[in-house]
Amino acid sequence: MGVGQVTDLKKYSEGVVNLALDTEETILEMVGLGEISGWVSLKNMEDGDKVTIESHVKLGSGSAFELHESDSYSDVQTKSSLRFLNFVGCYGIKITLTQTAGTPRTYPYLFFRKG
C-alpha cells in the first residue's frame, strides 16, 4: 500500500470491550457506503474461555442486518490478533463479540474506514 492510500483512512472505532458472559456487544456499526479494515485482539483469552465474533451486513436501504460470518475461538490464542481486511458495505456493516464461556475478559479493537 502506498503512502497516499494510507491518508485516505480515518480511525472509525477504537476501544476495549469488557464482556459479560452471554452478552452480545457491538464493537463496530457503520451505516452507509464505506470500507472497513481493522483488528480485534484475543490476547487476554485463557484456557476455558470461548468468544464468538460475528460480522453482519445490510443488503438494502432500510433492511435489517444479516449474518455474514460467525467464528468462535477457544482457550489461549497463539495468533491473538484477528484482522478484518477491506470489508466493504453499501448500506451497513456491524461486528459483534459474545463471550460464551470462561472468565469475562477485555478485548481491545481498532477499526479504520475508507469512504
Question: Who has greater pLDDT, 95 or 1?
Answer: 95
Distance (Å, whole) CA 88 – CA 33: 8
Span 23-62, pLDDT tens digits? 999 999 999 999 999 999 999 999 999 999 999 999 999 9
Instruction: Report the residue count for the chain.
Output: 115
Enter the pTM of the model.
Answer: 0.87
Instruction: Please state the domain extents for the chain.
Output: 20-114
Residue range 20-114 in CATH 2.60.120 = yes
